[in-house]
Amino acid sequence: MKKNVIVGQSGGPTAVINASLAGVYKTAKDMGADTIYGMRYGIQGLLEKKIVDLGEKIRNDMDVELLKRTPASFLGSCRYKLPESSEDKAIYEKIFAILEELEITAFFYIGGNDSMDTIKKLSDYAQTVDSPIRFIGVPKTIDNDLEGTDHTPGYGSAAKYIATVTKELVRDGLIYEMQSVTFIEIMGRNAGWLTGAAVLAKSEDCEGPDLIYLPEVPFDVDVFLEKVKKLVVEKQSIVIAVSEGIKTADGRYVCELSAHSDKTDSFGHVQLSGTGKYLSDLIIEKLGCKSRAIELSTLQRCAGHLTSRVDITEAYQVGGTAVKAAFEGKTGQMVILKRVSQDPYICTTDLYDVHKVANLEKKVPRSWITEEGDYVTAEMKNYIEPLIQAELTPIMITGQPRHIIIDDLPDIK
């Protein structure tokens, strides 16, 4: 029996998502997989038979190293919500027919909450039709909101980028002898893990941000204005980190206070943008102070030049653990990271039932946010700090990072 495997990537990318792909590929190859297929554009691409033979592209150890250092999703991604098998059995029949045609024994999906939902549904369907194919989820998300795992690959590098940018903006705000307020809008719909990383800028050579607002605590516009009003009297430059998803007590997103948007993605999520801009305009209007908003946007997830070595190493490890688990007969599981020790930092991998992960969100503990809800505690800083340590230097060619690309690799017909 052939040991062919297939791997895909889904959802928003991270700076280290391809390190997990490299971990899957290298471990599967070392463990004797015959062919390692890649889904172009996730499960959606699989349905369209957009499949490549990764062995034709990743030819040597240098390609593996380049892959680990290449940001964004090498195979392409999708935001496709797989329906329940009871609602559309034909889709499942098509997926499994394609997998059987390719003689697949193991299926790996690198992604976040919605991707783990896909693994759950596929592994459940496999049991109902008595399919031997194993389905394993490989965690990935800069949002760090997956249940069951201490943290997610991708978060450490995003946190490193946010901390660095925050520190640089604090310096920039002091160049002129005038009052100014700078808002840094950071990704985070319902969980403030990324925004909390701005606290890392607070160090012996930097005072860090003055205020940090996470979506876990309701945002009061009037109380906020009073805080900034006091700070403007005391300080020359004020830097405020805000999650894009902060809400008022009545459940409205702050970014919707100026202009409501009904735009949603394929999973029904409201598209968020403009929180920093709204608050910045409010400061100008109410306090007459110079203000600006900086939206980090997708830079948080694709800044491959500033990855954390800890993060990229763990991303590679979870890919390898997924393959080992599948080859040992495991299915319906997600690989997790377990923090064994804080000082020195030691982390291992393990498995977690994907049914306990899918469609759940892990939020920042309320105890890690100050009582007033305008900053984070030392506990959160201590939790994040080990994840941003060390660097993996890009391979530079003509002054720029070299990446590996897949565009010239034809699909399998």
Q: Give the DSSP H/E element, type plus range, for residue 117.
A: helix 113-128
- CA 19 to chain centroid: 13
pLDDT for res 149: 98
Topology alike, domains 4-153+304-360+393-401 and 155-301: yes
Binding residue numbers for Mg(2+): 113
Q: Who contacts 316 (Cβ-Cβ below 8 Å, separation ≥6)?
A: 19, 20, 22, 23, 68
Q: Are the C-beta atoms of residues 15 and 140 closer than 8 Å to each other?
A: no
> Rounded to an integer, what distance in angstroms lies between the CA atom of residue 292 and that of residue 236?
14
Phi/psi of residue 365, each to 5°?
-55, 140
Burial 231-268 (b: 16+ CB within 10 A, else e): bbeebebbbbbbbbbbbeeeeebbbbbeeeeeeeeeee
Query: What are 24's two structure tokens?
Result: 């899957």
Binding residue numbers for substrate: 141-143, 187-189, 244
**Minimal CA–CA distance to 276: which of 335, 195, 332, 331?**
195
Examine the pLDDT at 180 and tell me if it is beyond 70: yes
Examine the pLDDT at 265 and tell me if it is beyond 80: no
Share of the chain above pLDDT 90, in %: 91
pLDDT for res 258: 79
Examine the pLDDT at 275 and tell me if it is beyond 70: yes
pLDDT for res 393: 87
Phi/psi of residue 385, each to 5°?
-50, -45
> Rounded to an integer, what distance in angstroms lies between the CA atom of residue 267 and that of residue 11?
11
- The number of helix segments (H) and strand segments (E) in the chain equals 12, 13
Binding residue numbers for diphosphate: 12
Binding residue numbers: 12, 113, 141-143, 187-189, 244
| CATH (residue range 4-153+304-360+393-401) | 3.40.50.450
The catalytic position among 117, 143, 210, 374 is 143
**Minimal CA–CA distance to 377: which of 152, 204, 192, 196?**
196
Query: What are 362's two structure tokens?
Result: 């892990």
> Rounded to an integer, what distance in angstroms lies between the CA atom of residue 103 and that of residue 83?
24
Instruction: For tokens 């890392």, name the residue.
Output: 200
Rg of the chain over CA atoms, in angstroms?
Answer: 22
- pLDDT-derived band of residue 408, with 50, 70 and 90 as boundaries? low
Q: Who contacts 411 (Cβ-Cβ below 8 Å, separation ≥6)?
A: 40, 49, 50, 51, 52
The residues spanned by each domain of the chain are 4-153+304-360+393-401, 155-301
Examine the pLDDT at 219 and tell me if it is beyond 90: yes
**For 60-114, what is the HEC assignment?**
CHHHHHHHHCCCCCCCCCCCCCCCCCCCCHHHHHHHHHHHHHCCEEEEEEEECHH
Give the mean pLDDT of 90-101. 98
pLDDT for res 285: 96
> Rounded to an integer, what distance in angstroms lies between the CA atom of residue 125 and that of residue 127?
5
Query: What are 237's two structure tokens?
Result: 């430059």
Q: Who contacts 109 (Cβ-Cβ below 8 Å, separation ≥6)?
A: 7, 8, 9, 10, 42, 43, 115, 116, 118, 119, 135, 136, 137, 138
- Mean pLDDT, the chain, rounded, equals 94
In this structure, the number of other CB atoms found within 10 A of the CB of residue 216 comes to 23
pLDDT for res 263: 61
Annotation says 117 is catalytic? no
Q: Could you report the per-residue pLDDT of 32-59, keeping only the tens digit for each?
A: 999 999 999 999 999 999 999 999 989 9
Query: What are 39's two structure tokens?
Result: 């889904």
pLDDT for res 264: 58
Q: Are the C-beta atoms of residues 291 and 277 closer than 8 Å to each other?
A: no
CATH homologous superfamily of 155-301 equals Phosphofructokinase domain (3.40.50.460)
- pLDDT-derived band of residue 266, with 50, 70 and 90 as boundaries? low
Phi/psi of residue 132, each to 5°?
-80, -5
Q: Could you report the per-residue pLDDT of 328-386, keeping only the tens digit for each?
A: 999 999 999 999 999 999 999 999 999 999 888 999 999 999 999 999 999 999 999 99
- DSSP, collapsed to helix, strand or coil, labels residue 260 as coil
Give the mean pLDDT of 87-116. 97
CA dihedral 135, 140, 145, 150 (to 10 degrees): 90
